[in-house]
Amino acid sequence: MECPHLEESAHITAPPLDVTTENSPQKFTCSVCRTDQSPWICLKCGVVNCGRYISGHAKLHHEMSSHPVCMDCDNYATFCYVCDEFVINDTKASHLDQLRKNLQSPTAVIPSSESQENDRKISRRPSSESQENDRKRLKKEDRLKTRSKSSGLRNLGNTCFMNAVLQSLSNIQEFCGYIKKLPSLDEKPPSKAKRVSHRKSRNTEDVLLVEELRKTLIALWQGSKTAISPESLFSVIWKVVPRFRGYQQQDAHEFMRYLLDRLHTELLSLLPYPNSNSPFIGPKGRSTIVTAIFGGLLQNEVMCLICGMESKKHDPFLGTKDKDSVQPMLRLSDCLSSFTDTEELEESELYMCSNCKKKQRSTKKFWIRRLPNVLCLHLKRFRWQSCYRVKVETFIEFPLRALDMNRYVLNNLHETRGSSGGSNLYDLAAVIVHHGSGAGSGHYTSYAVHEDTWYHFNDSTVTACDIDTVARCKAYILFYVRREIKLPDYLAGQDNGH
């Protein structure tokens, strides 16, 4: 949005200078807690404090000083606390543009001769133990600075939910490789463009989400920039899914569902997917890359507790969701067992029994009838308490390799439980994490593995991380890839590498 407070609040054009090594970038730390995570500079006085998802000292500075506008020192986004929005305009004198240029340039400040002399006087030769500790620290820092081939995604204003999903999907090689190799759909026939619209509206007839996603994934893996700005993709999302218009925080899982559903619908209308009897059939009777990769099938069994009549229904799914839990710690296997356990329905959910001809008490049980190639497990991190939603902080222990799904798959005439061997073994590919305590606030980041190295994707920043760091995170969405990928004939044999 265009902020009306810039002229009176944006005066800073250069960051405060620290003594740094020549030609090295300046390191910004919070003036209160000294953290270097998420530094924001006040555009009125130049003080640097941490963002709201760390300790919130930048927001506290605004509340105490009435200085409303600040800039992120990492991705250069500008935010106004009075407007409560990210800012897209600049001052007449281009203060924001000048500050961005100065933030991007390495700052080298040469100490005076007097300060150099004082440094020599107080310096001491470090001990061998101190030198060894320094070497270990530098070695670890160098390893963690290893840059992924993928770029980061700039935050356009509470768009971390989108960035976390996109980075996770971009590291699902079979999906990402297919989308990247699609032909450009910019020169699309008008008749086909109309067929992908969810509504007969001029706002949605001329835009294609799949085309903007294709461009974004290609840009992510060019590796020429540390971060790219997904403005065009976000603009299309606003048009085709009005639910996500604006800059308020959204739910990452809800966004992923809308994104995959829309992609499936567009691809069915635009590309000649064959009709077949393969198990990879989507809701419209045909399969796309979306259902071939993420689609599975549940069997929902309801049994009347009065007469014993059973009703079975098959439901396609693009992910499974665990049930409520307030325990301090669980294993992922506990969640999966809870999902497939038999439960008695509440009085408010009485089942209309076709045998008794009236609503009766009943039980419900889910089976996984067909597993997807990529299993998306959505952990229920939010629950209703009175009239508002609260965050569930339960730590879920999850395997990074060899998740065995055999025990949760329905037995049938052709296959008994456990007989599939490696075909139902899954390895973790990505994790989305929600940071913060509120259901309508907080921050999303993601972890993903590429060429045996795990990376942490935090909007513009992409850093290598330890596997132990991934294992300790409080996962919100887990992406597991089947070891033995099963694809329909029209996708089999395609080179899906990055």
Q: Which of 212, 268, 262, 267 is nearest to 242 (CA)?
A: 262
Rounded distance, CA 433 to CA 252, Å? 9
Active site residues: 160, 443
Rounded distance, CA 34 to CA 393, Å? 27
Q: Which of 450, 430, 445, 473 is nearest to 147 (CA)?
A: 450
**Mean pLDDT of the residues in the chain:** 76
Rounded distance, CA 381 to CA 390, Å? 8
Rounded distance, CA 294 to CA 424, Å? 14
Q: Is the separation of the CB atoms in 267 and 293 below 8 Å?
A: no
Question: Can you name the residues that pair with 80 across neighbouring β-strands?
Answer: 69, 85
How many C-beta atoms lie closer than 10 Å to residue 99's C-beta? 24
Rounded distance, CA 196 to CA 271, Å? 11
DSSP-derived letter for residue 17 is: P
Q: How far is CA 260 from CA 158, 161, 190, 264, 372, in A?
A: 21, 15, 23, 6, 14
pLDDT in tens, 261-285: 999 989 988 877 665 544 445 544 5
**346 or 107: whose pLDDT is higher?**
346
Averaged pLDDT for residues 395-419: 72
What separation, in Å, do the N-terminal and C-terminal C-alpha atoms of the chain show?
A: 36
Alpha carbon 173 to chain centroid distance? 16
- The per-residue pLDDT for 123 is 35
Q: Is the separation of the CB atoms in 157 and 77 below 8 Å?
A: yes
pLDDT in tens, 216-239: 999 998 876 788 889 889 989 988
The third-level CATH classification (topology) of the domain covering 152-270 is: Cathepsin B; Chain A (3.90.70)
DSSP 142-209: HHHTPPPSS-EE--SSS-HHHHHHHHHHHT-HHHHHHHHTSPP-SS--HHHHHHT-SSS-HHHHT--H
Q: Is the separation of the CB atoms in 288 and 264 below 8 Å?
A: yes
- The per-residue pLDDT for 322 is 59
pLDDT in tens, 181-199: 998 876 554 444 344 433 3
Residue holding tokens 């086909």?
A: 192
Phi, psi at 98, each rounded to 5°: -65, -40
Start-end ranges of CATH 3.30.40.10 in the chain? Answer: 6-104
Helix or strand run (H / E) with residue 420: none
Residue 154: both structure tokens together: 């700039």
DSSP-derived letter for residue 105 is: S
pLDDT in tens, 4-49: 899 999 998 888 765 444 444 567 899 999 988 888 999 999 999 9
Angle at 52 between CA 47 and CA 53, to 5 degrees: 130
- The per-residue pLDDT for 132 is 58
Q: Is the pLDDT of residue 155 over 80?
A: yes
Q: Residue 413: CB partners within 8 Å, gap ≥ 6?
A: none
| 17-26, 121-130, 386-395, 424-433: least confidently modelled range | 121-130
DSSP 270-318: HS-PPP---S---TTSS--HHHHHH-EEEEEEEEETTT--EEEEEEEES
The third-level CATH classification (topology) of the domain covering 6-104 is: Herpes Virus-1 (3.30.40)
Phi, psi at 475, each rounded to 5°: -65, 145
Start-end ranges of CATH 3.90.70.10 in the chain? Answer: 152-270
Q: Is the pLDDT of residue 490 over 50?
A: yes
Q: How far is CA 428 from CA 202, 374, 425, in A?
A: 41, 10, 10
Helix or strand run (H / E) with residue 445: strand 443-450
Angle at 216 between CA 453 and CA 454, to 5 degrees: 10
